[in-house]
């Protein structure tokens, strides 16, 4: 599962090269919200130095994205499905025109501005040993 924090740069690591049939593919991402069924498309460049092992993408979630440069706007928090396609075009955002589907999975979008609150039990603990 992939986790994306809103308003931040996120690192996504997948294994796509093993299924790719194009020699130098451009990766088209599709994120579909599970509740609204709204689909979001963008292209991200592979940043991995070891593509035979894994593919690494830098994805920025922001309100006014450049969809051809690894940026996407996901205003609704929650669960999404993702799909990654390979293609030759660096400008196509239509998956119907892409070469092939490489991977699907689940994605969660979290609020990146508010940290998760961690609470500790501050009650003193007394250990009682019986039988001595």
State the pLDDT confidence band at 131, using cuts at 50, 70 and 90.
Answer: confident
Which segment of 30-44, 79-93, 107-121 scores lowest on mean pLDDT? 107-121
State the pLDDT confidence band at 112, using cuts at 50, 70 and 90.
Answer: confident
d(CA 111, CA 6): 5
Q: Given this model, what pLDDT does residue 132 score?
A: 61
The token duo for 7 is 């308003």
Domains of the chain: 2-110 (2.60.40.10)
Is 96 strand, coil or helix?
Answer: helix
pLDDT tens readout for residues 44-83: 999 999 999 999 999 999 999 999 999 999 989 999 999 9
pLDDT for residue 122 is more than 60: yes
Give the β-pairing of 26-33 and 9-14: unpaired
pLDDT for residue 22 is more than 70: yes
Mean pLDDT for the chain?
91
- Of 39 and 114, the one with more pLDDT: 39
Q: If we measure between CA atoms, which residue out of 2, 9, 50 comes closest to residue 29?
A: 2
pLDDT tens readout for residues 95-105: 999 999 999 99
Q: Given this model, what pLDDT does residue 115 score?
A: 55
What DSSP line would sit under 42-53, residue for residue?
Answer: EEE-B--S-TTT
């Amino acid at each position: 599962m992939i986790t994306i924090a809103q308003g931040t740069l996120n690192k996504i690591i997948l294994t796509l090269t093993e299924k790719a049939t194009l020699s130098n593919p451009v990766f088209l991402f599709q994120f579909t919200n599970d509740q609204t069924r709204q689909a979001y498309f963008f292209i991200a460049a592979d940043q991995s130095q070891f593509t035979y092992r894994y593919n690494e993408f830098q994805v920025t979630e922001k309100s006014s994205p450049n969809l051809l440069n690894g940026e996407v706007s996901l205003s609704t928090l929650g669960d999404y499905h993702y799909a990654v396609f390979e293609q030759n075009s660096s400008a196509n955002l239509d998956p119907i025109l892409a070469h092939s589907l490489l991977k699907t999975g689940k994605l969660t979008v979290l609020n990146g501005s508010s940290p998760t609150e961690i609470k500790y039990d501050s009650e003193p603990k007394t250990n009682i040993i019986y039988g001595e």
